[in-house]
Amino acid sequence: MTKRSEPADPCFASENTASPASSASSDVSAQRAGPCAIIIFGANGDLTKRKLLPALYNLATEKLLPSEFAIIGISRTAINREVYQNKVVQDLTEFSTGKVDARLLDWFRERSYYLAGDVQNTALYQQLATLLNTVDKAHGTAGNYLHYLATAPGHFGDITQQLANAGLTQENAKWRRVIYEKPFGHDLDSARALNRDVKKVLGENQIYRIDHYLGKETVQNILAFRFANGIFEPVWNRQYIDHVQITVAETLGVEQRGEYYEQSGALRDMVPNHILQLITLTAMEPPISFEPDAVHNEQAKILQAIQSFTPETIATRAVRGQYGKGCIEGRAVDDYRAEPKVASKSSTETFVALSLSIDDWRWAGVPFYLRTGKRLPKRVSEIAIQFKCAPFVPFRKTQIASLRSNELVLRIQPDEGISLRFEAKVPGSIMRLGPVNMDFKYQDYFGSTPSTGYERLLYDCMIGDATLFQRADMVEASWAVVQPVLDAWKAQSAGDFPNYPAGTWGPEEAQKLLARDHRAWRDSA
């Protein structure tokens, strides 16, 4: 079969055109990824239509997707290629983050293929190997394959082994990579077992454990903010920082994910991946470079330095909650136990608050407080750095009763940006201080770039950059942090659920968690 000529499409007319955001901040243009095909297991799922396909479309508009490219969708549903092609176009039209171009939609249509089958059936992988040979010839994808496992985690090991048996993970002058959606395991033992299974047939350089939080601009900017600005790095330590607060709050309940959430809960769902990744980027030492292993080495050190929970510290440093009936944005909502596919007497937590200590020289004595939950008053994800108060001595003979601490907030969502609060004199004849906020929003300064949060991660995988993905030892170290809490909560079910009304900031115990240390959660309302 002869290779088709590329369409006369303005989206592919210029090889090295930077996106508006990148040209605003750098003279260096990102290079388009090399030829490849992406194979999506779970092609008919929500993740694919809402995130992956729109992300690929955005990469194409930014001229980062190769022209030698194809998509192969795999799912159980028995449909033919034409029906799937129409579905790809429909999904891109409905879920795109910006205006769609009809010519680019046609470009995606002709590069979309489909296989129906059971991922446990060996015959499916033989069909896949045959189809990939056809795709390589038709679109010049050069035998480079990115397998994206957007399936239930229980299938990860089987799919990986089947791909290897079919010769689809072997690298000879070509690359073969596998992306694993979270969660990677459901506890420490299962994470270790899954790591062992996939590493029997894959090298660590082929394994990409994805966390979509790391695709967000503000998360990526933590490293740039810390290590490119000389005014912040010298004070980024126990001498100047009092404590750190990390909040990941959602106003939504579990929606239609009750069955999954009953097996997961807030602790498993959010802490070993999203939140601990934020902590490592906030607390890590400067890497010697931004090469993947250099960054991962420093992240792993932080995870290994987090003080282990004991039965005694779990009682005072770990809080769980479950939402009851309440009010969100003026609307009455039901309790968690009334959600679809949730047990009527469920003891699954929908809220978690923890106090963590990092036992290293930089952070000794600086607590890291984290909280995450469903049905909270506001949707917000942020990292708040609370600095120590300045000495009060110069103000002791003024009318100022106390000094507020300076506060640096890295907002991850919904309004990505950075704010710094400090004290300034209020104009007038007496000495009075008032808080001043210096506020920066990415959209205001750099403009808006359509994004799902997956663009950078997919692109990095295509070019072989694993910096924003988790290494095997990091996954296991993350699970090791929370495993004692999981074990303790499993052994003794909560007796007071539900213990916070929907629309509030969690159970009263979460406030006491900081009050014991004579601190309080910052006002996120």
Annotated catalytic residues are 274
Residue 232 burial (C-beta neighbours within 10 Å; 0-12, 13-18, 19+): middle
Query: 222-231: long-range contacts at Cβ-Cβ below 8 A with a sequence spacing of 24 or more?
Result: 222/278, 222/281, 222/282, 222/383, 222/410, 223/281, 223/290, 223/295, 225/410, 225/418, 226/286, 227/286
Q: Which amino acid is at 481?
A: V
Report how far residue 352's alpha carbon sits from residue 270's, in angstroms, rounded to the nearest whole number. Answer: 9
Tokens representing 414?
């919904």
Residue 195 burial (C-beta neighbours within 10 Å; 0-12, 13-18, 19+): buried
Report how far residue 60's alpha carbon sits from residue 41's, in angstroms, rounded to the nearest whole number. Answer: 21
Which residue has tokens 């088709």?
A: 4
- Which are the contacts of 429, defined by CB distance < 8 A and separation ≥ 6? none
Nearest to 355 by CA among 382, 302, 310, 318: 318
CA 230 to chain centre: 27
Report how far residue 355's alpha carbon sits from residue 371's, in angstroms, rounded to the nearest whole number. Answer: 9
For the chain, helix, strand, coil in percent to 5 are 40, 20, 40
Question: Phi then psi for 199, rounded to 5 degrees?
Answer: -80, -5
SS in 3 state form for 354-388?
Answer: EEEEECCCCCCCCEEEEEEECCCCCCEEEEEEEEC
> Which DSSP string corresponds to 474-494?
HHHHHHHHHHHHHHHHHHS--
| Under 8 Å between Cβ of 239 and 363 | no
Report how far residue 352's alpha carbon sits from residue 522's, in angstroms, rounded to the nearest whole number. Answer: 17
Q: Is the torsion defined by CA of 30, 35, 39, 44 positive or negative? A: positive
**Residue 324 CB neighbour total at 10 angstroms:** 19
- Which are the contacts of 418, defined by CB distance < 8 A and separation ≥ 6? 218, 221, 225, 408, 409, 410, 411, 439, 440
| Under 8 Å between Cβ of 67 and 82 | no
Tokens representing 206?
């082929």
Report how far residue 307's alpha carbon sits from residue 297's, in angstroms, rounded to the nearest whole number. Answer: 18
Report how far residue 358's alpha carbon sits from residue 308's, in angstroms, rounded to the nearest whole number. Answer: 10
